[in-house]
Structure 1
Amino acid sequence: MGKSKKSKGSLKKKHSILYGIPHCHTENSTGTGDVKVALKYAKNKDLDFIIITDHNNALNNNKKRKDKNKWEDALKDIQKFNKKHDNFIGLLGFEFTLKPYGHLNIFASENFFSGDIGNIKNLLLWNSVNNPIMAINHPSKNIEKLDFNPLLNNNLSLIEVGNGLYPAKSYNRYEKRYYSLLDKGWKLGAINSQDNHKINFGDSDNLTAVLVEKKDKKNLLQSLRNRNTYSTESRTLKVHFYINGSLMGDVLSCKKNDTLKFSLYAEDREDKITKIKLISSKGVCIKEMDFPPQKDIKYFCSLPFKENEKWYVAKIFLQSGATALTSPIFLNEI
């Protein structure tokens, strides 16, 4: 059996779920409303966290205060808001262009940089000093040309598998590109971003869910870095997905003759569950289960370890047409 330190009985109880937006904008770049407005609006929509990620090239200038840039003011506003509200977490990041691959977000850093990045070595150098968490935004075709880089993957932890305001026509799913990068060796967790440019933070139900051991900033960032996440188009969907006690986002070490024991718990009090799929390398569905619409399911199965199946993702289908995608559980043969 694959190595795991967690007992089956304690798995689901061990983790709470935080729901939030990891990518949005304010008037500091291409959005509407200031940082304070965004934080207040998101909290009033019962979100647990929001990460404000304005475009880096707009953050140096500050017409209101010449002694400080927009980044410094935003940091200060978020710190003040967090002190007043212990049940909400505001974070600051920024969006930049990695040429020719597309847009990425950086957060969990006290610093930012201006300009585009055309040489990955420069990004690696900046990361070595700041140790941020990075995410791929609304992945385009060019992102599939990004060769696996283990040093970059130390910080590049997440990818948007959904972007926009679900179910608007402008909302996009990126499931195939997600699987393509996983097959290239990238270890990436699934997130969903509203990418707000108006004062509508949390108006839509598509969110990123983060499994944490404690509801605070430290644990939120640690779980984002560890890919303990899932993308959901329902804010009321709770998902816990494990293999041999390893949580979504984890790397499970296995031997050739090991048995993989899958545990999937899903619950939605508003939008009933109708189907689940277990998906592995090359996007192949290895298990598919249909259900009469129900509020919660518990699914367990055992499968042999296969060398050609390097990762497993759970996909949940809801009665309304909404879906959820978990981060992978990665397999490492020993």
Structure 2
Amino acid sequence: MKQTLLISCCLLTGMTGYAQPPSINGYHVYYGHLHNHTGASDGKDTAFHAYPYARDSSKMDFFGLADHCWLLRPGEWDTIRMAADAYNQDGVFVTFAGFEWSSPVYGHLTIIHTEKIAYYYRAESDNFIDIVNWLNKNDGYAFMNHPGDEEGGSETFSHFNTVPSPRILGMELWGKTEGFSRFYYNDGFYHDDNGKSFYDEALLRGWRLGATGSEDNHSATWGKSNRRMAILATALTRNDLLEAMKARRFYSTEDKNLVLSFCIQGNEMGSEVAEGNNTFCIRTFDKENERFVRARLVCNGIVADSIVCDTTFLEWTLVRETHCGEYYYVIVTQQDGEEAISSPVWIRGKTNHQPPLPISGSFAPFYYQNDSTTLTIPVENGITRMDIFYDSMKVKTDSVYPFDYRLKLRSIGKFPVNVTLFDSQCGSISLLYDYVNVIKRPKEILQEEEQRVSFYPNPCSEVIFITGARDFYRIVITDMQGKIRWQAEKDFFLLQKIDVSSLEAGIYLLSIYTGGKTTNSLLVKSR
């Protein structure tokens, strides 16, 4: 491994004078918070106090409010949005209007970029899977707040076992009055992984989370602590900051004057880089000339390399062999013990390598509630592992072919099955394979042993034929909501042709009435 360490007490050209905003690696660095409260929930004062205070007293570049959704009274959400718009000024101060989805079971999220509020006690957003679906529908983005605070038998963030969502941008690594000691240096949900933090447990399960932090201020002193979230962006506007956050180009710092860049192959934190013999570059300095004493490179939750130093400006360059599925981030430490943690850079397969995909296929058209079934996902040779998600929840990691999962179908509905595939070089993102359609079993009707009525084909596309005795006099087709879609009542001949081309693809109940007896059958319309 090749390494270069540049230690200097003077700054590079263009950094002299620490003009605001500081710049590094072609980006400006902007400082602020997104998770704070007012008297609209359980804090103090109003949004019209909070935004100017953060701008004028705390000298922040950006600021967001996230009052608890369940405490917001009618009209207060509109007031917060109005205040945010009133104080937003491109190039001077950027504001975000947000709210905190505060589930006592599934954890807290700061949510921004929505027109509406989601409530944890409403059916549309009462669990972690549903709030992610709500974000998709409402074009929202979220950050995981104070991980572990709602533990004690709960399912905070579903312990990262749901399908990773690009709508969740980061996780707080410091919060409230506490630094990294509580929300980063911890043993997360799992106690058999050599003490991995909440942050690394999420990253190892495929979540693309940047490193953030927020004051969670309840006392009307917004931004008076020394800690910040720092965003690397091209300009100080809402759109530019949001695009940078979506790119995970931000870091978490216990010192509001610390500037940090972490690149692999010239790609800044938040990027994805092809595996290979890659060049790493870590650069950091402090606007008040505080000294740095250590830097660490973390790979998949383990310190992979580190240096000891004593400098006001650090540039650490090294060359390292990287492999698909790895992620890297850096931690830099100052003389006073304050630290900053970068967002990761993720490693994908070689440039010309195509991520593995399942063979195209589908499950059965429908399954009955309370039945058990085995779902099999066919793949090409070379797949070494498959993660299977049922209804967005991870249910199995399978490394033995054929890849399948046996389950009991307890609930009625249409449930997505997602898979993540791995071969010798790389893994895919989570992919939707198909849906499992679970329906209620039709009421069983006692029939004569000798069945006189039948129909074909099934599944059908354009027509069906019904055969049987001369005495069947009524035919009814209803959908699964009980609405009649086709019916006729007369004397039929032995063979009856029925045009079903007008029916949408789906599952129907075909009822044939014959001389006081009824035959009920499921009819599948394929297209």
Shorter-normalised TM-score: what interval? 0.7 to 0.9
Quote the residue 2:79 is aligned against. Answer: 73
Deviation at 1:111, TM superposition (A): 1.8
Among 284, 287, 299, which residue is 1:269 paired with?
A: 287
TM-score, normalised by the number of residues in structure 2: 0.56
Q: Does 1:298 align with 2:311?
A: no
- Is 136-145 or 175-184 further displaced after alignment? 136-145
Q: Which of the residues 124, 136, 159 maps onto 1:145?
A: 159
CA distance in 1, matches of 2:315, 2:105: 43
1-structure distance, mates of 2:315, 2:178: 27
Q: CA RMSD in A?
A: 2.0
Equivalent residue, structure 1, for 2:54: 42
Q: Which whole-Å deviations, capped at 9, do the CAs of 1:120-145 have from their partners, x for residues lacking one?
A: 44324322221111110000154472
2:326 is matched with 310
Instruction: Note the C-alpha offset of 1:263.
Output: 0.8
Alignment of 1:66-105 (within 5 A): 69-83=75-89, 86-98=91-103, 100-105=105-110
Identity, in percent, stands at 25
Does the CA-based 8 Å contact 1:251-1:332 persist in structure 2? yes
Change (3 A) 1:144 1:174: farther
1:240–1:200 CA distance, 2 compared to 1 (3 A):
same
2-side partners of 1:179 and 1:273: how far apart? 24
Q: Is the 1:105–1:137 Cα contact (8 Å) retained in structure 2? A: yes
Structure-2 residue corresponding to 1:223: 244
Q: What is the identity, as a one-letter code, of the residue corresponding to 1:40?
A: P
Structure number having the greater helix percentage: 1
Residue-by-residue CA offset, 1:147-184 (whole Å, 9 max, x unaligned): 1413xx120111001111356xx973324111111111
Q: Structure 1-normalised TM-score?
A: 0.86
The separation in 1 between residues aligned to 2:159 and 2:133, in whole angstroms, is 21
Report SS of the residue matched to 2:314. strand
2:224 is matched with 203
Runs (5+) with no aligned partner, structure 1: 1-10, 63-68
1:97 Cα deviation after fit: 3.0
User: Is the CA contact (8 Å cut-off) linking 2:226 and 2:255 kept in structure 1?
Assistant: yes
Contact 2:69–2:102, Cα closer than 8 Å, also in 1: no
Equivalent of 2:272 in 231, 251, 265: 251
Counterpart of 1:233 in structure 2: which amino acid? E
1:128 and 1:214 map into 2 onto residues whose CA distance is 27
Query: Letter of the aligned partner of 2:272 in structure 1?
Result: V
- 2:340 maps to 1:324: yes
Q: Which amino acid aligns with 1:172?
A: R
The alpha carbon displacement at 1:13 in A equals: 4.0
Q: Deviations over 1:38-73 (max 9, x none)?
A: 1111101110011100001122x25xxxxxx10001
> Which residue of 108, 111, 115 maps to 2:120?
115
CA distance in 2, matches of 1:189, 1:147: 18
Residues 167-206 of structure 1 correspond to what in structure 2 (within 5 A)? 172-175=182-185, 176-206=197-227
Cα gap change, 1:145 to 1:114, in 2 (>3 Å): closer
Q: Distance in 1 between matches of 2:287 and 2:132?
A: 44
Contact in 2 for aligned 1:21/1:202 (Cα 8 Å)? yes
In structure 2, stretches of 5+ residues that fail to align are 1-22, 186-196, 354-527
Rounded Cα–Cα distance in structure 2 between residues aligned with 1:319 and 1:220 = 30
Helix, strand or coil: the match of 1:288?
Answer: strand
User: Following superposition of structure 1 onto structure 2, how do residues 2-17 of structure 1 map, counting pairs within 5 Å?
Assistant: 12-17=24-29
More strand by share: 2
Q: Is the 8 A contact 1:163 1:171 kept in 2?
A: no
Deviations 1:13-42 (A, max 9, x none): 421111001110001001111101111111
Provide the residue aligned with 1:56 in structure 2. Answer: 69
Once residues 280 and 40 of structure 2 are traced to their aligned partners in structure 1, the CA distance between those partners, rounded to angstroms, is: 45
Q: CA deviation at 1:96?
A: 1.0
Structure 2 distance, partners of 1:107, 1:171, is 27
Secondary structure, counterpart of 2:88 in structure 1 = helix
- Measure the CA separation in 1 of the matches of 2:312 and 2:112: 35
Is 2:130 the counterpart of 1:130? no
Return 117-126 or 203-212, whichever deviates more: 117-126
- Which structure is richer in relative contact order (CA contacts within 8 A, separation 6 or more)? 1
Q: CA deviation at 1:99?
A: 6.0
Paired residues of 2:323 and 2:347 also in contact (CA < 8 A): no
Which residue identity does 1:243 align to in structure 2?
Answer: I
SS of the aligned residue for 2:201 comes to: helix
Structure 1 residue 192 displacement after superposition = 1.1
Aligned amino acid, residue 182 of structure 2: N
